[in-house]
Amino acid sequence: MTESQANESASWRQHWTWAKWLLAAALLTFVLWRHRAGLSQITHQPLHWPSFVTAVALCGGAIVLTFLRWFYLVKALGFVFTIRDALRLGFIGYLFNFVAPGSVGGDVVKATLLAKEQPSRRTTAVATVLLDRILGMLSLFLIGAWAAWAQWTEIRDRAELKAIVGLLVIGSAAGLVGLSLMLIPAVTRSRAWQHLARLPVVGHMVAELVEGVRLYQSQRRVLFVALGISIVGHFGTISSFYFSAKAISGESFVPGYAQHLFFIPAAELAGIVPLTPGGVGLLEEAVNALYKLNGAADGTGILTCLAYRAVTLAIALIGMGYYLTARREIDQALHAEPIAENALITPT
């Protein structure tokens, strides 16, 4: 690729990212307008600060666990990498999910900065971030499927909820089977993966993933411990979401904690669709629909999502301190040789 082509590609990616944020703003505005009647009836209630503070603490702890999960994956491959490094790069990446609409996503930032610090192992650095995100999504499926099983008596007579259960069960089974198969050396050396690696757009991502899994085949325990850490972390984020609901609900009814364990993972599937950053607008609509199915007033789910986004933004501000202390170095790394966004999966 020539320099002009590279500049044109970078410019296109930047404009597309801006367009996604504009779409997110438009979609969220539409969702708020669509549910304006329900929102007008519940927005007068005061914020319950103890619940909000609890939500911030739970969310912060869960996010730190995701950084420690990544640290465990990176350290297992022999990188010169400390917990302090994981927190620094993790918080910077988390910040970029919020304040860089014209730049790249948080996972790409983490991969780029790790690759810069470990230039001889660029491919491996990217693979650790990719595997980290896949394990995070798998754990979300597992929690949702488990919670659905525990509430099957209430779910089995409702077709719309049974369909969600099907998605969660299929996702969990496919993830566990896929992970198990990829830990078998013969599977990752098959010609099928070589053909997939040559596909446009997703081929590079497949190649990075396979290379990363090969490195972990002699350390299978690492992946399953990381999966366990991820499950604990997601319990923290879902708990944070529940306390966000309690913070804004006042006297209004909100679904119980057990119900959140089922339908928050289901709603998070909206984050997989790369239509808007973080599923903005899509997540609000999905949570509101699931809240209504469980007896909550219209608009309660939307306000809960907005409260939870405020919680995550408060956590993201920690990354600002890390960014300001090394702003020039970070900007140089991101502009010198950025990693393509389509090389990584970035679900919510």
- Gap between the terminal Cα atoms of the chain: 32
pLDDT the model gives residue 16: 60
Give one DSSP letter per residue of 86-121, joined into a string.
Answer: HHHHHHHHHHHHHH-TTS--HHHHHHHHHHHHSGGG
- Among the ranges given (59-63, 122-126, 138-142, 333-337), the one the predictor scored with the smallest mean pLDDT: 333-337
Q: Which of 280, 267, 315, 269 is nearest to 62 (CA)?
A: 315
Q: Which of 132, 52, 47, 89 is nearest to 314 (CA)?
A: 52
pLDDT the model gives residue 274: 60
* Whole-number Å distance between alpha carbons of 252 and 257: 15
* Whole-number Å distance between alpha carbons of 194 and 338: 25
Could you report the per-residue pLDDT of 47-56, keeping only the tens digit for each?
Answer: 889 999 999 9
Percent of the chain clearing pLDDT 90 (strictly above): 23
pLDDT the model gives residue 104: 46
Could you report the per-residue pLDDT of 80-139, keeping only the tens digit for each?
Answer: 788 988 898 888 888 877 654 434 456 777 777 777 777 666 777 777 887 888 888 899
Could you report the per-residue pLDDT of 189-216, keeping only the tens digit for each?
Answer: 888 777 777 887 677 767 767 777 787 8
